[in-house]
Structure 1
Amino acid sequence: EYIDSIRPSSTIPICLDLGTNTQRYLDDPLYLGLRQKRVSEEVMTEFMEEFMHEMSVQFPKLLIQFEDFSTEKAFKYLEAFRHRYPVFNDDIQGTGAVVLSGFLNAAKLSSAASGRPLSDHRILFFGAGSAGVGVGMQLMSFFKLQGLSEDEARERIWLVDSQGLVYNERGPMAEHKKIFSRHDYTGPPMTDLTEIVNYVQPTALLGLSTMKNAFYQDVVELMAALNPRPIIFPLSNPVRLSECEFQDAVDWTKGRVLFASGSPFPEIEYEGRTLYAGQGNNMYIFPGMGLGAILCRAASMTDSMVEAASLGLADSLTPEERALDLIYPRLERIREISAFIATRVIRKAQAEVRILPSALSDMLILGQGVDRLTDMRTMSDAQLLKFVTSKMWTP
Structure 2
Amino acid sequence: MAEQPFELTSGPDGWTAHVRVRGHAVLQLPLLNRGTAFSDAERRALGLTGLLPQRSIDISKQARRIYAQYLRQPTPLDKHVFLTNLRDRNEVLFYRVLADNLDEMLPIVYTPTIGEAIERFSHEFRRPRGLYLSVNNIDEVPQAFANLNLDPDDVDLIVATDGEGILGIGDWGVGGAQIAVGKLAVYTAAAGIHPARVVPVMLDAGTDNLELLNDELYLGNRHARVRDERYDALLDAFVDAAGQYFPHAMLHWEDLGASNARRVLNKYRDTCCTFNDDMQGTAAVVVAAAIAALRESGTRMRDHTVVIHGAGTAGIGIADMMRDIMIAEGLSPAEATARFYAIGSKGLISDDQAALIRDFQVPYARPAAEVAGWAPEGQVAKLADVVREVHPTMLIGTSAQPASFTESLVREMAAHCERPVIMPLSNPTSKVEALPSDLLEWTDGRALIATGSPFAPVEYKGRRYSIAQANNALVFPGLGLGVAIARAKRVSDGMLLAAAEAVAKIAAGTGPGAPLLPPVDSLRKVSAAVAIAVAQAAEKEGLAQADLSDLVQLVHQSMWRPDYPTIVAV
Report the secondary structure of 1:100's partner residue. helix
Q: For residues 551 and 511 of structure 2, what CA distance do their matches in structure 1 show?
A: 26
What is the TM-score of this pair, normalised by structure 1? 0.88
Report the secondary structure of 1:13's partner residue. strand
Matched, 1:26 2:193: no
CA offsets 1:19-41 (integer angstroms, 9 cap, x no match): 23455543332333211233342
Higher mean C-alpha deviation, range 203-212 or range 331-340: 331-340
Deviation at 1:316, TM superposition (A): 2.5
Q: For residues 262 and 231 of structure 1, what CA distance do their matches in structure 2 show?
A: 14
- In structure 1, runs of 5+ residues without a counterpart are 353-368
Larger radius of gyration: 2
Q: For residues 338 and 124 of structure 1, what CA distance do their matches in structure 2 show?
A: 30
Matches for 1:347-366 after TM superposition, within 5 Å:
347-352=536-541
Q: Give the root-mean-square deviation of aligned CA atoms.
A: 1.8
Structure with the bigger RCO (C-alpha within 8 Å, sep 6+) is 1
Runs of 4+ in 1 over 6 A off after TM superposition: none
Q: For residues 104 and 275 of structure 1, what CA distance do their matches in structure 2 show?
A: 18
Q: For residues 190 and 226 of structure 1, what CA distance do their matches in structure 2 show?
A: 24
Deviation at 1:260, TM superposition (A): 0.3
Deviation at 1:186, TM superposition (A): 5.0
Higher mean C-alpha deviation, range 328-337 or range 20-29: 20-29
CA contact (8 A) 2:291 2:504 kept: yes
Residue 326 of structure 1 is matched in structure 2 by: 515
CA offsets 1:83-140 (integer angstroms, 9 cap, x no match): 1111100001000011111111113333x3xxx6642200000001111111111111
Residue 361 of structure 2 is matched in structure 1 by: 177
Matches for 1:1-395 after TM superposition, within 5 Å:
1-110=188-297, 112=298, 118-172=301-355, 173-183=357-367, 185=370, 187=372, 189-317=379-507, 320-321=509-510, 325-352=514-541, 369-373=542-546, 375-376=547-548, 379=549, 383-395=550-562
- Matched to 1:256, the amino acid is R
Relative to structure 1, the CA distance from residue 117 to residue 301 in structure 2 (aligned partners, 3 Å threshold; closer, same or farther) is closer
Residue 39 of structure 2 is matched in structure 1 by: none
CA offsets 1:180-227 (integer angstroms, 9 cap, x no match): 111263545434322121112110110001111111111111111121
Identity of aligned residues (%): 33
Report the secondary structure of 1:233's partner residue. strand
Report the secondary structure of 1:15's partner residue. strand
Q: For residues 323 and 244 of structure 1, what CA distance do their matches in structure 2 show?
A: 20
Q: For residues 410 and 437 of structure 2, what CA distance do their matches in structure 1 show?
A: 12
Q: For residues 201 and 451 of structure 2, what CA distance do their matches in structure 1 show?
A: 29
CA contact (8 A) 2:296 2:511 kept: no
CA contact (8 A) 2:487 2:545 kept: yes
Report the secondary structure of 2:434's partner residue. coil
- Matched to 1:390, the amino acid is Q
Aligned length: 368
- Matched to 2:364, the amino acid is F
Report the secondary structure of 1:266's partner residue. coil
Deviation at 1:239, TM superposition (A): 1.1
Relative to structure 1, the CA distance from residue 26 to residue 216 in structure 2 (aligned partners, 3 Å threshold; closer, same or farther) is same
CA contact (8 A) 1:7 1:393 kept: yes
Q: For residues 302 and 240 of structure 1, what CA distance do their matches in structure 2 show?
A: 34
CA contact (8 A) 1:165 1:189 kept: no
CA contact (8 A) 1:190 1:196 kept: no
CA offsets 1:243-293 (integer angstroms, 9 cap, x no match): 111111111111111110011111122222111211111011001111000
What is the TM-score of this pair, normalised by structure 2? 0.62
Q: For residues 463 and 512 of structure 2, what CA distance do their matches in structure 1 show?
A: 12
CA contact (8 A) 1:267 1:276 kept: yes
Residue 364 of structure 1 is matched in structure 2 by: none
CA contact (8 A) 1:321 1:329 kept: no
Q: For residues 251 and 22 of structure 1, what CA distance do their matches in structure 2 show?
A: 42
Q: For residues 250 and 310 of structure 1, what CA distance do their matches in structure 2 show?
A: 25
Q: For residues 240 and 20 of structure 1, what CA distance do their matches in structure 2 show?
A: 26
Q: For residues 257 and 416 of structure 2, what CA distance do their matches in structure 1 show?
A: 36
